[in-house]
Amino acid sequence: MLRLIDLKINGKLRQVSVDERESLLDTLRNLGYTSVKKGCEVGECGACTVLVDGEAVDSCIYLAMWADGRNVMTVEGLKGPNGELSPIQKAFIEEAAVQCGFCTPGLIMSAVEIVGTGKKYDREELKKLISGHLCRCTGYENILNAMERIVEETYKVVGKE
């Protein structure tokens, strides 16, 4: 059965017709948001992670109709007004935390949630926070370096230190 829902995706209101069984992942991909990757489709790899009202969710196991009336953010929503990369994206590039790039959008979206808490996390805490992400290329060290860096930079900017 089809249902009409309202989504605010990356700040833009969209009205979409979805099957009640359709995942948010499929809806976003059908709308052209290619940063949302289709990996395991059972919520185990984190490649499809997006923010729904600021909370990181695996969009492959999150029904599109659950997002009705909510704010959804994908990596495409992080770019600045002139198309510039966000500080989190820059940190991932500068710390060589990207290789094949398949897991990167999901990890970046989790980093956005982590930074958004305003808390300072150590490396062990960050490991636990990204434990739902599967990266087949990097061994996580550079990913953790990027996350530590952006958490530290953000923590200093908000005047906590």
pTM of the predicted protein model: 0.92
Burial of 114 (0-12, 13-18, 19+ CB in 10 A): buried
Residue ranges per structural domain of the chain: 2-76, 87-157
Q: What is the pLDDT of residues 33-81, one digit of tens each?
A: 999 999 999 999 999 999 999 999 999 999 999 999 999 999 999 999 9
Q: What's the confidence (pLDDT) of residue 159?
A: 54
Question: Hey, which residues does 14 pair with through a beta bridge?
Answer: 7
* 139 has a pLDDT exceeding 90: no
Mean pLDDT computed over 13-17:
97
Q: What is the pLDDT of residues 144-161, one digit of tens each?
A: 999 999 998 887 665 555
Q: Domain 2-76: give its CATH superfamily.
A: Beta-grasp domain (3.10.20.30)
Query: What are the b/e assignments for 25-37, b being 16+ CB within 10 Å?
Result: bbbbbeeebebbb
- Give the DSSP per-residue string, 46-67: -TTEEEETTEEEETTSSBGGGG
Q: What is the pLDDT of residues 92-137, one digit of tens each?
A: 999 999 988 899 999 999 999 999 998 999 999 999 999 999 998 8
Pairwise CA distance, residues 39 & 102, whole Å? 9
Q: Domain 87-157: give its CATH superfamily.
A: [2Fe-2S]-binding domain (1.10.150.120)
- Give the DSSP per-residue string, 66-123: GGTT-EEE-GGGGS-TTSPPPHHHHHHHHTT--SS-SSHHHHHHHHHHHHHTT----H
Residue 113's alpha-carbon distances to 3, 50, 117, in angstroms, are 29, 10, 7
Q: What's the confidence (pLDDT) of residue 160?
A: 53
